[in-house]
Chains A and B, each alone.
Chain A
C-alpha cells in the first residue's frame, strides 16, 4: 500500500512539471515567431485563433499526423532511437530543478553534477541522428554540432565549478539559499565573467543563433535533423526548446538567486513578501528566454573556426583564471558573498 502511494505521489509530481513544460515549450515557439517578427517589422503568425494564439496547437497536430519517412539505407533502429536519446536527458534534468522553496521532484545531493552529466548526454542524439540518416548534409551537421558541444561543455562545466566553489555545495537548493540577501548577494557580481561565459556557452550548447552552424540553412539545409519528419522531427524540436528553457532557468538559479526575491534586506522587502518564489523564478527565466530570442533576431551566424577559437582559446582560459581568483576571494572572505 505504501509503495503505491509513493509511486502515485511522484507520478503527480512529474505530471505537475512535465505538462506545464510542454505547454511552455509550445508557447515559446509562438513567442519566438512573434517576437522575432516584431523585431523585423513583421506580424508573425496571425491566422490561427486570436493573434495567432492557436498556431502552436495547429503545428503540433500537423506534426503528429504526418508520416515518418525513413530514408533508404538508413540504420533504422538508431534512426528512430536518436530523437528519444535527445529528448530523454533534457526531460530528466527537470527532476532536480528547484521550482520554488518547497517544490523539487528529487532534492539530491549531487544535483549540479547530475545536470552536467545529463546535459552531456544530449550530444549522442545529435551524433546518432546524423550518422543513422545516411545523408551527407545530416552527417556534416552532426559533426559540426558535436565538436561545438564538446568545446563549450568544458567552459560551461568550469563556470559551474565556480558556482559550486562559491556555494560550497552541489545541491541546487543550497546553492540558492547561499545567495540569500537581496540582489547584490547573488553570484552574478562576484562571478560576473563566469556568468557571461555560462550564458554564451549555453546558447552554443543548445545550437541556437548565433551558434547555429549545425543547422546552417544556407549551407547544409537543416543539419542533423534534415531527414526527420513528423513526430521524430517534433521530438528534436521539443528537446531544443526544452534545453533553451533549461539554460534560462539554470542561469537564474546559479547566478540570479533562483526563487529568491531581489528586494530582500532592503526597505522594499515587506511590500513584495506576498509574491511566491515561483513567480520570481519565472520572471528571471522568462527574461533569459527573451534574451535568447532577441539574440537570434539580432546577431548574424558565427563562422565555424571563430566558434572553435572562442570556445577553446577565449572562454576556457578566462574560466580557469577566474576560478583561481575566486579561490583567493573565498580565502580572504570577501564580503558580502564569501562570509562563511
Chain B
C-alpha cells in the first residue's frame, strides 16, 4: 500500500463524512464549516490526480471566496434552531422521493457515460508544456474560447442583475459623497462672528 492510496482513502472518508455532516448537523454555521472542509478534501483528491491548478482554484474560489460570503450570511441571519431540527423527519417522504430520483438519474448517467471508457479520454489535445496550468490555459483560450467567453458573459450578467435587484436608492440613505468631503473649505464649516462690544 503506497502513500498516495492511503491519502486517497483518508480524504475520501473525510469527504464523505463531512458531506453527510453538512446535511445532518443542526447548527447552520457548523454545516457551512463542514461544507468548507468537504471542498478542501475534494481539492486534495484533485491534487492526487495531478490537477494542481484546478485544486488550488477550488480552494481559492470556493473556500476562500464563496464560502466566506455564505458563512457571513448564515451568521448574520437569526435562524431558529428548533424549527430546522424539527423539519428533519417532517420532510422524510419528500426527501426519500428526491433521493430515489436523483440516484436513479445518476446511475443512468454513469452507466451511459462510462460504459465505453475510451469515449471519455480526450486524445486530440495539443500539449504545449509539461505544466498543467499552461496546457489548461492554452486549451481554454483556443479550442474552447467560445464556451469560455459565454460562461464569462453569463457570470457578468448574474452579477449585474443581482446588483440591480438589490441596489435601490433609499430616501434615508446616509451615504456621503467623497468629492464633496474632499472639496470642503473652511468657509463651509466656520462662521467668524465679529464681537462688536469688545472694541
Contacts and interface: CB of A to CB of B under 8 A. Distances in A.
Interface of A: 78, 108-110, 113-114, 116-117, 120-121, 123-124, 127-128, 131, 139, 143, 146-147, 150, 153, 170, 305-306, 309
Interface of B: 29, 33, 36, 52-53, 56-57, 59-60, 63-65, 68-69, 71-72, 75-76, 131-133, 175-176, 178
A1 B63 CA distance: 38
Nearest to A113: B56
B150 to A, nearest CB: 21
Given A109-B132, A120-B60, 10 more contacts: A108-B52, A110-B52, A114-B56, A121-B64, A124-B68, A127-B68, A127-B75, A143-B75, A147-B72, A153-B64
A165 to B, nearest CB: 11
8 nearest A-B pairs in the assembled complex, by CB-CB distance = A120-B64, A117-B60, A117-B59, A113-B56, A117-B56, A110-B52, A109-B131, A131-B75
A286 B76 CA distance: 40
Contacts of A139: 75
B72 A127 contact: yes
A65 B85 CA distance: 42
Given A110-B53, A113-B53, A128 B65 contact: no
A114 B65 CA distance: 15
Main secondary structure of the interface of B (DSSP, over half): helix
Contact of A150 (B52, B69, B75, B175): B69
Interface centre among B75, B131, B175, B176 (most CB of A within 10 A): B75
Contacts of A127: 68, 71-72, 75
B52 A109 contact: yes
B120 to A, nearest CB: 25
A330 B64 CA distance: 30
B166 to A, nearest CB: 15
B56 A110 contact: yes
Nearest to B29: A131
B27 to A, nearest CB: 8
Nearest to A147: B72
Nearest to B64: A120
Chain A contact residues: helix, strand, loop or mixed: helix
Contacts of A117: 56-57, 59-60, 63-64
Contacts of A143: 72, 75-76
A123 B133 contact: no
A10 to B, nearest CB: 14
A108 B52 CA distance: 10
A306 B133 contact: no
B71 A109 contact: no
Nearest to A114: B56
A246 to B, nearest CB: 16
Given A116-B60, A305-B176, A309-B178, A123 B68 contact: yes
Nearest to B132: A109
A306 B64 contact: no
A109 B65 contact: no
Nearest to B178: A309
B36 A124 contact: yes
A138 B56 CA distance: 31
B152 to A, nearest CB: 14
Contacts of B72: 127, 143, 146-147
23 contacts: A108-B52, A109-B132, A110-B133, A113-B53, A116-B64, A117-B56, A117-B57, A117-B59, A117-B60, A117-B64, A120-B59, A124-B71, A127-B75, A128-B33, A131-B29, A143-B72, A143-B75, A146-B68, A146-B72, A150-B65, A150-B68, A150-B69, A153-B64
B140 to A, nearest CB: 15
A4 B53 CA distance: 29
B137 to A, nearest CB: 10
A170 B133 contact: yes
A305 to B, nearest CB: 7
A110 B72 CA distance: 29
Contacts of B53: 110, 113
A284 B148 CA distance: 40
